[in-house]
Amino acid sequence: MTLRNLEIFVTVYREMSITKAARKLHLAQPGVSLAIKEMEEEYRVRLFDRINRRLSATEKGDQMYAYATHILEMEEEMENAMTAPDVPVNLRLGASITIGTFLVPRIVKCFRERYPTSRLQVTIQNSQQVIRAVIRNEQDLGVVEDRADSDQLRELPFMKDELCFLCGADHPLASRESVTLEEICCFPLYLREKGSASREITENLLRTCAAKGEILWESVSNEALAGAIKENPGITVLSARLVEKELKEGSIQILPLHPDAFMRSFSLIHHRKKYLTEPMQFLMDLFKKTTLNGARWDENMSHID
């Protein structure tokens, strides 16, 4: 097994095409096919299936990809550390949409003050997409809402958060001192997309309480949902942190139903096999300095030692 074979395999896996991988690597197709064949023979496994002239990774192929990306990444880090210690930092951060909206911009600003020549690539997705990307080593560090629940990851809760049922100021329930889940479910629900933490938590709560709500509005945008309930009779579920301005203005109201199930923690995640470089550890420390209670933001966080 050679590093070159691993590079070829990773490229084929990402492209799911021998032809595209060969073109990208500037190699002949037979050479790419031979490298994959040698790996399959060495480990006595099938890494790809060819169905209807298309490649698809097998379970062993998925496992090989996880190992291969870590090996290649560590080899690159070793080369940089040994031969070019001053090379600019490259990090990939995945963040859920809620965290990416109110927290990540300030974190990145502090990180860049410490590492001004760094290249910090940020991808904002829902929590499940971030978890998958970190497991596949497509992102170095993730910040997600609630728990990742994967034995391939290490996770560290760093901030508490509470989800709330929200409605517009003119909603029939807006003036109530208390509401039940059954009353909330009499109105259409406007929720985030499947795979988002708030959607999963809401659906779990409804199932636990045997309540049935009709989801008539689905969006990847928290802002779109907040805007929708201002003008329509639907009810949404969001973190109160995202609508602080609207709550102060009175255009959005929190419905007084706060089950324990709606408390969650924001968590840092990284792969168990990930080597934590100094810049990556510093980035994690920036998140951890926000505290479990989500207290005030410290504007001097960039001066962490």
Ranges of the chain whose pLDDT falls below 50: 292-305
Percentage of the chain exceeding pLDDT 90: 59
268-284 pLDDT, tens digit each: 999 988 888 888 999 99
pLDDT at 305: 45
* C-alpha–C-alpha distance, residues 202 and 192, integer Å: 10
What local confidence, expressed as pLDDT, does residue 94 receive?
A: 96
Give pTM, 2 decimals.
0.68
pLDDT of residue 81: 66
What pLDDT sits at residue 210? 87
pLDDT at site 301: 46
